Structure 1
């Protein structure tokens, strides 16, 4: 894949699912299988009734998956926080990393960094940094 072809998006949505639910396990299985087939990588975090997901890869499959997420009944109020192109992947070799509420959670990280959730650009950047931090923890 040419670096110029690497698109990404970051979204959040509301959900009734819990991390240990069968439906959440289904989402992860479906995402990992689909992402492997489409050349997508990313990270999904579930905390306090919200999904946060960074997804990256070729633009057309990425757009298709974004529309599938919007139509998926397991997600409500889908809000894309950040979209664009990048020169390299943030989550290479991870069809779908997954994190959930625990010590050192997203909201702890955001508070520790002094990030205002109301500033969507700053929040999106902080969210990506948190996901990359968790990715490095699990990969290293």
Structure 2
């Protein structure tokens, strides 16, 4: 069975330590458990970056919710499609924030072309996969 996915970025005023950011993460984990979705959310420099995967119908519902959520502005879908299997299996929602070795340090070290959206999207996916700790959340 194929798995649908999307990767987006959005602007936000939230910080990683804000109560609203904690709310987003807790809501996402509960909703993803109910809808059989998995993924990773990264917050850096006023932007959310999120990979989300699972059955197409629930994924489309969450996509619509994100587009309507005022905590996300200027939502831009960078990549979407189908996969033969999940990349974030067991991760209801991994989460990362700015710290040494952050997203832009990581992509610069690997020569990812940020101006090329396809290259950036693949680099972002790889960054998220690389950032996963060994314990599922």
- TM-score normalised by the chain length of structure 1: 0.95
Equivalent position to 2:131, from 130, 134, 140: 134
- Structure 1 ranges of 4+ moved more than 2 A: none
Match of 1:98 in 2: 95
Cα RMSD for the two superposed structures:
0.7
Aligned-partner Cα distance in 1 for 2:64–2:25? 17
- TM-score normalised by the chain length of structure 2: 0.97
Match of 1:19 in 2: 16
Listed as ranges, the matches of 1:82-97 within 5 Å are 82-97=79-94
Aligned-partner Cα distance in 1 for 2:85–2:57? 17
Aligned-partner Cα distance in 1 for 2:134–2:117? 28
Cα displacement (A) at 1:139: 1.2
Match of 2:46 in 1: 49
Gaps of 5+ in 2: none
String of CA shifts for 1:30-87, please: whole Å, max 9, x gaps.
0000000000000000000000000000000001100100100000000000000001
Gaps of 5+ in 1: none
SS of 2:76's equivalent in the other structure is strand
